[in-house]
Chain A
Amino acid sequence: MKLILTVIGKDNTGIIAGVSSVCATQSANILDIQQTIMDTTFVMIMLVEALRDSLSVLRDELLTLEKKLGVKINVYNEEVFHAMHRV
Chain B
Amino acid sequence: MLFSMHEIEHTREMFEEQNLDVRTITVGININDCADPDPQQATRKIYEKVCNIAGDLVSVVGQIDREYGIPIVNTRVAVSPISTVAASGKTDSYILYAQALDRAAQTIGIDYIGGFSALVHKDISTSDDLLIRAIPECLRTCKKVCSSLNLASSQAGINMDAVVRTAEAIQKTAKGGNMMLVPSLWYLQTYQKTIHLWRERSMEEERETQ
Point out the residues of chain B lying under 8 angstroms from A32, CB to CB: 1
Please classify how large the interface on chain B is, using the bins under 10, 10 to 19, 20 to 34, 35 or more. Answer: 10 to 19
Q: How far is the CB of A85 from chain B (nearest CB, A)?
A: 5
Point out the residues of chain B lying under 8 angstroms from A74, CB to CB: 12, 15-16, 69
Point out the residues of chain A lying under 8 angstroms from B66, CB to CB: 55-56, 59
Contact of A77 among B1, B3, B69 (CB under 8 A): B69
* CB-CB nearest in chain B for A35: B5
Point out the residues of chain B lying under 8 angstroms from A78, CB to CB: 2
A25-65 to B contact mask, C-beta < 8 Å, 1/0? 00000001010100000010101000010011001000000
A85 to B4: give the CA distance in the assembly, Å.
10
Please classify how large the interface on chain A is, using the bins under 10, 10 to 19, 20 to 34, 35 or more. Answer: 20 to 34
Contact of B68 among A6, A34, A47, A77 (CB under 8 A): A77
Contact present for B69 and A47 (CB under 8 Å): no
Point out the residues of chain B lying under 8 angstroms from A45, CB to CB: 1, 5, 8-9
User: Is residue B67 within 8 Å, beta carbon to beta carbon, of the partner chain?
Assistant: yes
User: Is residue A69 within 8 Å, beta carbon to beta carbon, of the partner chain?
Assistant: no
User: Is residue B70 within 8 Å, beta carbon to beta carbon, of the partner chain?
Assistant: yes
Q: How far is the CB of B11 from chain A (nearest CB, A)?
A: 5
Contact present for B68 and A81 (CB under 8 Å): no
A1-37 to B contact mask, C-beta < 8 Å, 1/0? 1011010000000000000000000000000101010
User: Is residue B7 within 8 Å, beta carbon to beta carbon, of the partner chain?
Assistant: yes
Contact present for A81 and B69 (CB under 8 Å): no
Point out the residues of chain A lying under 8 angstroms from B2, CB to CB: 47, 78, 81
Point out the residues of chain A lying under 8 angstroms from B16, CB to CB: 72, 74
18 A-B interface contacts by CB (under 8 A): A6-B9, A32-B1, A45-B5, A47-B1, A55-B67, A74-B12, A74-B15, A75-B69, A76-B11, A76-B68, A77-B67, A79-B68, A80-B11, A80-B70, A81-B3, A81-B7, A84-B11, A85-B3
- On A, residues with C-beta under 8 Å from B are 1, 3-4, 6, 32, 34, 36, 43, 45, 47, 52, 55-56, 59, 72, 74-81, 84-85
Q: Which 7 A-B pairs have the closest CB atoms?
A: A76-B69, A77-B68, A32-B1, A85-B7, A81-B3, A6-B12, A75-B69
- On B, residues with C-beta under 8 Å from A are 1-3, 5, 7-9, 11-12, 15-16, 66-70
Further pairs besides A34-B1, A81-B3: 19, Cβ < 8 Å: A1-B67, A34-B5, A45-B5, A45-B8, A45-B9, A47-B1, A56-B66, A74-B16, A75-B69, A76-B11, A76-B68, A76-B70, A77-B69, A78-B2, A79-B68, A80-B68, A80-B69, A81-B7, A84-B7
